[in-house]
Amino acid sequence: MYILANWKNSLSSKDSKRLAEALHTRISGKYSDIDIVLFPDDISIETVSLMFDSASMVRVGAQDGPLGPKTTLTGSISLSNFGKFCDYVLLGHSERRMLLGETDEMIAQKAALAIDVGVIPVICVNKGDGTKIDPHFGLKAQLESILDHIDSKSKFVIAYEPIDAIGTGIPADPEEVKNIAGIIHETIFISRNVKSSPYIPVLYGGSVNDKNIKSFLSLEGIDGVLVGSASLTADSFLRIIKKVSDPKHYK
Ligand code: PEP
């Protein structure tokens, strides 16, 4: 199971350091069965990443990645810092798609580059616009653009984040999440039906907290969660980790 913490730009560098220290103290040596990944802002990546060395169970990721190996891009993390301090990268978050106009093509380009330098992309997709013939046309288009640019042997992660569930306190209906997870797995399977293709985990994100996480953990096709607001304090994030590590919450 994956638990990803998207800290966005919600914390000062001091608070990011404090939160990472608290998690380091309370998580170290435990929860080896869970993939925990923290996504601090770019200013805090180095500090947080150095705290969780390679022996630690916790991994660190960037909230966005460089567009190309040689592209000079003001506001972007450099390729060398990216490769040095990140194990994962969040790409295609709906806030970036909506506010910055990031296209599927740009997201796919960043994902391919991340894979080239050994960083695992976590690609956020949303419902998109449907058509009369195919209500999931928009979702599939987002996935297919990624699949077209990435070698079928590469590992990546998909996070399904319906826009109306992000930051609203109202999570998506678990039945709908299960249905969408099935469509995501099917689209990936059809596109990369190669024996050596790794399993692609599918996560759910949108107003997940310790109270509602149980309804997402047990869903067929869901391999973890991406948590925003509820990952911003050690207590609340730890409550989620404890639920994920307890088998009784999978029934
Ligand atoms: C997010 O922004 O990726 C997210 C999941 O946020 P929240 O949990 O606050 O809805």
Domains of the chain: total:
1
In this prediction, residue 249 carries a pLDDT of 73
Could you give the residue numbers annotated as active site? 93, 161
Residue ranges of alpha helices (H) inside the chain are: 13-27, 42-51, 79-85, 94-99, 104-116, 137-149, 174-191, 214-217, 234-245
Q: Whose CA is nearest to atom 1 of ligand 1?
A: 228
pLDDT tens per residue, the chain (251 residues)? 999 999 999 999 999 999 999 999 999 888 888 999 999 999 999 999 999 977 678 999 999 999 988 878 898 998 999 999 999 999 999 999 999 999 999 999 999 999 999 999 999 999 988 888 898 999 999 999 999 999 989 999 999 999 999 999 999 999 999 999 999 999 999 988 777 789 999 999 999 999 999 999 989 999 999 999 999 999 999 999 999 998 777 76
CA–CA separation, 64 vs 211, rounded Å?
29
| Tokens linked to 177 | 């999440």
Give strand pairing partners of 158: 123, 202
Take atom 4 of ligand 1 and give the residue whose Cα is closest.
228
End-to-end alpha-carbon separation of the chain, Å? 15
163 alpha carbon to ligand 1 midpoint, in Å? Answer: 9
Q: Is 228 in the pocket of ligand 1 (CB under 6 A)?
A: yes
The answer, yes or no, to whether any atom of ligand 1 lies below 6 A from the CB of 3, is: no
- Residue 129 C-alpha to ligand 1 middle, in angstroms? 21
Q: What is the CATH classification number for the domain harbouring 27?
A: 3.20.20.70
159 lines ligand 1 (CB under 6 A): no
- Give the residue, by CA position, lying nearest to ligand 1 atom 2: 228
Structural domain span for residue 178: 2-250
Distances (CA, A) of 220 to 162, 182, 228, 240, 250: 18, 8, 22, 19, 10
133 C-alpha to ligand 1 centroid (Å) = 31
Structure tokens at 35: 């993939």
Contacts of 76 by beta carbon, 8 Å cutoff, 6+ apart: 64, 65, 66, 67
